[in-house]
Structure 1
Amino acid sequence: MVGRTHTLMVVLASGLLVVLGGCSSPEPTPEPDVTVDLLHENWKDVPGVTAGGDGLQITATARRIVQQDGGGGQPNPPLNLAGTHLVVGGDFTLSATFADVTADASWALYDRPPVIADEFRVEPAGLRLTLQGDDLKIAVFDGTQRSDMTQPVPVHDEHVRVSDPGAPLTVHRSGDTLRIASGADTLSTLPLGKVFSSGNLWLGLSSDSGAFDVTSLKAAAPESAGLRTSGAAAADVQPSADGLQALAARTRPDFRIGAAVALGPLTGDADYAREFVGNFGALTPENAMKPQFLSPQQGVYTFEEADAIIAIAESKGMIVHGHTIAFTEAMPRWMQELPSGTDAERRSSATALRDYVTTVVTHFKGRLDSLDVVNEPFDVDQGTSFQQNIWYRVLGPNYPAVVSQVVHDADPDVKQFINENGADVPGHRQDALLKLALDTNAQGGHIYGVGLQAHVYDLETDAISSGELSRTLATFEAAGLRVRISENDVTDGQGTDAQAEQYATVLATCLRSRACVSYTTWGVDDRYDWLTDNHGSVKQGHDFLFDDGHPTPAYDAMRRALGG
């Protein structure tokens, strides 16, 4: 089908005129422009974008972020995080040509990557233009964190009619003003605010419900603006000979210290990249391998961001722990709504779940050292009953064994773990986890060990002592199982000294036990530690080893625990 062609341009002009002593000076000779053809830059790691001979083909991914109860569904359109972004210190021009728009075409231009939390996306400062027929939606975000992150509110939001959809659309930035025009017609003039203040430009192309082609995509700027393309911030960073991983290897060469990471900060934040690559020898994708990110629609897979994260780990000599397969949360709507009322429905839904597991594990085969095949199976109130999730409803109470068998068939070499919270110290929750792991293997599963999350949200109630953790590790070792400290983070609610002591206690105890094969903290820098409180309000946490680019007392305590 031949569709209408739309040209989209973003233009920034300085309009500089110098007048001295009341005498006019001749107009300066315009600087030559530096031009970059973005169409042929790296787009391979962007979900929904396929490079072809004539340009880029964009298809809808339906990526959304659901809340813990399965509700909601905040849109999560992709940006080019691992590929090319622009760095420019002055005037610039961006232009794009869209063709064969079947429904809608969106182009995002942001100051920085979004922050993706478990249940919401923090929208960065930037501009999103969405073309649908002759309607152009202009949405401007200033990066302000609002109480309800699942409903980001633009500081400017309007719809304008494009009288000639084939005419160029332009956005002029001059000083503190943005002017959006179609051909010679001005559509909107608005204050710039905080948009385009970072000197970085991250590009995203997406469609909500259709497809379109991008046949031209260029950037241009005067030489003085310093326009250039840039890749991932982690690309030029190397592991430190004095980092946490290097210190641990002096005692136990096979022991890995890891962190959960997200692609946005790993590629877009030099501090975060330095902190992570310099100190850690293992990586867990924080969200990128959860079902809603890998398969937003049944039979449709968006592996690109997970692949990009793993590629960075591989380039730094790190191992990767996959997270996760069977999980109550972070499931796409299609998976949540699989029917399970009749035997026939359960058989059909079981086939869909098995196909998902086989497809995912086969895709990552040979790239994962270990994998959470079952995550948080027990109820959220710290009991020992199974959560009645889709895996349980379709496959029955022996679903961990079924999933484990399917994983083993697809990749017999990946080490399988069951990951759970609240089982870090002796008690009924730990007893249930041990029994589940052993029962799963007795039913034909291939569980290598357990993940103890070690979340410490309150040091008065959640603190983990060296003695209790030592007994825990001995218990699992006696049963023939290995242990990962899989998601350790510690609140600073009782002060940074108490936080540091707890971090060091967990690491040192793990390091002393041969049953404990690795230690992972659930984040890197507090800059990206965003959570919702009991009232639903979003707040920033202070639970990690770095805070806004600087080491915390907890980091120093970890180094001392490792003999550094």
Structure 2
Amino acid sequence: MAGGSLAAYLAVAASVLVLCLAACSAPDRDRTVDLIGQDWTAAPGVTAGEDGLHVRATDRRIVQQDGSGGQPNPPLQLYGTHLEVDGDFSVTATIADATGAASLTLYDRPPVVADEFRIEPGSVRLTLRGRDLRVTVHDGSLPDDPTRPRPVYDQQVTLADPAAPLTVSRSGDTLRIASDGETVTAPELGDVFTSGQVWLGLSGEGGSFTVRSLTARALDGGAVSAVDTTRLTVPPARDGLQALAARQRPDFRVGAALALGPLTADPEYARAALSEFGSVTPENAMKPQHLSPGPGVYTFEEADALVDIARRHGMDVHGHTLTFGEALPRWMQDLPTTTEADRRASATALLDYVTTVVTHFRGRLASWDVVNEPFGVDQGTQLRHNVWYRVFGPGYPAVVSRAVHAADPDVAQYVNENGADVPGPRQDALLALVTETNAQGGHIDGVGLQAHVYDLSTDRIDGDDLTRSIDRFAGAGLRVRISENDVTRSEGPDAQAEQYAEVFAACFRHPNCVSYTTWGVDDRYNWWVAPDGRLRQGHDLLFEQGRPTLAHRALRSVLER
């Protein structure tokens, strides 16, 4: 139905929203959950006050490797309260004092956030801008282009009366939007909500707003309850990878890169991540575009949640990453570097960022990737001319390292790079860079060798070569981490498992290799964009659909020998 024809039916306030969604069936007809009173401290951009929840725009976005694009990455409540629903239920919100666009989103599950894109789950988003209401619905199907997800329903309405309530209800396959009891649109949407959960997102654009009240209530024999993910606890597995490793090398850490969304929403992922491993590397939550979407604006909430979960489970946290040529927010990419005055001002902004971030996490992290991929992904040996290089010159690693040491002298510092796992020009360049950085007053303790094996015919890592590489860095007084190991299954699970075991064994058996991390946990969340632009699922990790793979058993066999 066109926006103009809806006006005759609507009398909707930009200040009051009533959302009613139907799901399955259960008892507890009238139970009501006050969502305002829940813990919102980990929701980016949301601050609790005496008059409700104050929401400010964060403008979080996900950029491409080359810095282009900027897919919106609106925040949601991952570490706090979400709803479990069974049967009909309603969510009621009162929104006031909007100075820009105000959005409330109900998600079927958290989105999958990858390096360069976000996969939208089933969701209903209501966005108010003045008298205009926009209703956007995603059904959770995989998009052709993940950087430009297309909603299955997108309707904009000009509101007639900014004082009347709005009702959104879902019954079966139909989503109904009504005002004053009159249905104004009822699209057939299929299975938008199937998980039995509802996750809440509050986000602003170009201003702020206040949520005066927010409640959930069971309707028509349904049930609704609040789930607090801040209480997430998983006991360690006696025969998990970390437990087995600690019996031989108590200080050695077997880790994985983790994301907060699946950690709080997927019990199988959480069980594997928190029972098997002894260290955490945030996949994206500590990259610059996620920590500081605007100059002087910081959204630490999701990273803090990961740190909190890890520390509660006795796990180390490795910070990833401070300086990087990718994953930069637009404000950082656009810092001026033409004149000396430009560079001085930009240097102040960048060092303020480093100091703020390192100080924020001081005492809670074991180590940092102070410099990530300084030579880039093209396997060259020249420093990338990223914003750090353009501002500080080729000595930028030393400048940043000194700033990190000043903010947290106890945190270990690493330079993390791909393609330097075996002897060759790339490794030569990495060793020279770290040696020169420390000669200039830096405090680099070691190197991270990523050990990505995307193609076994070209990327395969020989265990003896890796041992010689670790020996070489040890001779220079540097520790080694295997920092991002993953192995393709394109040549079969046996070949994959053999390569995993070869890399892991070389690290574990060398006293100067202090930790091993695999880049991800479960292939359920392992997605990439193929050269043809299509979304593809990878099969490179130690778990698949919650079950250990042959590669996982290969690592266990190394530890059990």
TM tier relative to shorter chain: over 0.9
* Equivalent residue, structure 1, for 2:3: none
Q: CA deviation at 1:31?
A: 6.7
* Equivalent residue, structure 2, for 1:357: 354
Superposed, 1:431-510 pairs within 5 Å as 431-510=428-507
Q: Does 1:149 align with 2:146?
A: yes
Cα distance in structure 1, aligned partners of 2:357 and 2:20? 42
Q: Does 1:179 align with 2:184?
A: no
Cα distance in structure 1, aligned partners of 2:460 and 2:414? 24
Distance 1:139-1:474 versus aligned 2 partners, 3 A rule: same
Letter in 1 for 2:208: A
* Equivalent residue, structure 2, for 1:426: 423
Q: CA deviation at 1:429?
A: 0.3
Superposed CA deviations along residues 8-63 of structure 1, whole A, max 9, x for unmatched, are: 112246999xxxxxxxxxxxxx9740000000111110111000111100000010
Cα contact 2:318–2:365 (8 A) shared by 1: yes
Cα contact 2:418–2:451 (8 A) shared by 1: yes
Cα RMSD over matched residues?
1.6
1:10 to 9, 19, 23: 19
Cα distance in structure 2, aligned partners of 1:174 and 1:407? 54
Q: Does 1:413 align with 2:410?
A: yes
* Equivalent residue, structure 1, for 2:508: 511
Q: Which runs of 5+ in 1 are unaligned?
A: 17-29
Cα contact 1:234–1:267 (8 A) shared by 2: no
Distance 1:559-1:162 versus aligned 2 partners, 3 A rule: same
Which runs of at least 4 in structure 1 moved beyond 4 Å after TM superposition? 13-16
Cα contact 1:485–1:519 (8 A) shared by 2: yes
Q: CA deviation at 1:233?
A: 8.7
1:298 to 284, 288, 295: 295
Superposed CA deviations along residues 343-372 of structure 1, whole A, max 9, x for unmatched, are: 111111111111010000000000010000
Cα distance in structure 2, aligned partners of 1:258 and 1:197? 32
Cα contact 2:92–2:213 (8 A) shared by 1: yes
Cα distance in structure 1, aligned partners of 2:282 and 2:21? 37
* Equivalent residue, structure 2, for 1:135: 132
Superposed CA deviations along residues 172-227 of structure 1, whole A, max 9, x for unmatched, are: 22232211012234331112311121100000000121110000100000495332
Superposed CA deviations along residues 83-123 of structure 1, whole A, max 9, x for unmatched, are: 10000111101100000011111000011000000000000
Q: Secondary structure of 1:471's match?
A: helix
Cα distance in structure 2, aligned partners of 1:199 and 1:15? 8
Letter in 2 for 1:464: I
Cα distance in structure 1, aligned partners of 2:68 and 2:22? 45
Letter in 1 for 2:15: H
* Equivalent residue, structure 2, for 1:366: 363
Cα distance in structure 2, aligned partners of 1:64 and 1:429? 32
1:169 to 166, 169, 175: 166
Using the size of structure 2 for normalisation, the TM-score is: 0.96
Superposed, 1:550-561 pairs within 5 Å as 550-561=547-558
Cα contact 2:317–2:367 (8 A) shared by 1: yes
* Count of paired positions: 548
Cα distance in structure 1, aligned partners of 2:262 and 2:114? 12
Superposed CA deviations along residues 384-433 of structure 1, whole A, max 9, x for unmatched, are: 00000000000011000000000000000000000000000000000111
Cα distance in structure 2, aligned partners of 1:444 and 1:529? 39
Cα distance in structure 1, aligned partners of 2:98 and 2:145? 32
Cα distance in structure 2, aligned partners of 1:182 and 1:384? 63
* Equivalent residue, structure 2, for 1:279: 276
2:64 to 53, 64, 67: 67
Q: CA deviation at 1:278?
A: 1.1
Cα contact 1:234–1:277 (8 A) shared by 2: no
* Equivalent residue, structure 2, for 1:386: 383
Cα distance in structure 1, aligned partners of 2:336 and 2:24? 62
Cα contact 2:542–2:548 (8 A) shared by 1: yes
Q: Secondary structure of 1:97's match?
A: strand
Superposed CA deviations along residues 421-465 of structure 1, whole A, max 9, x for unmatched, are: 000000000011111111100000000000000000001111111
2:341 to 340, 344, 347: 344
Cα contact 1:57–1:211 (8 A) shared by 2: yes
Distance 1:109-1:432 versus aligned 2 partners, 3 A rule: same
* Equivalent residue, structure 2, for 1:25: none
* Equivalent residue, structure 2, for 1:27: none
Q: Does 1:104 align with 2:120?
A: no
Superposed CA deviations along residues 249-285 of structure 1, whole A, max 9, x for unmatched, are: 0110000000001110011111100110110000000
Cα distance in structure 2, aligned partners of 1:13 and 1:351? 52
Distance 1:273-1:31 versus aligned 2 partners, 3 A rule: closer
Q: Secondary structure of 1:150's match?
A: coil
Identity of aligned residues (%): 63
Letter in 2 for 1:328: G
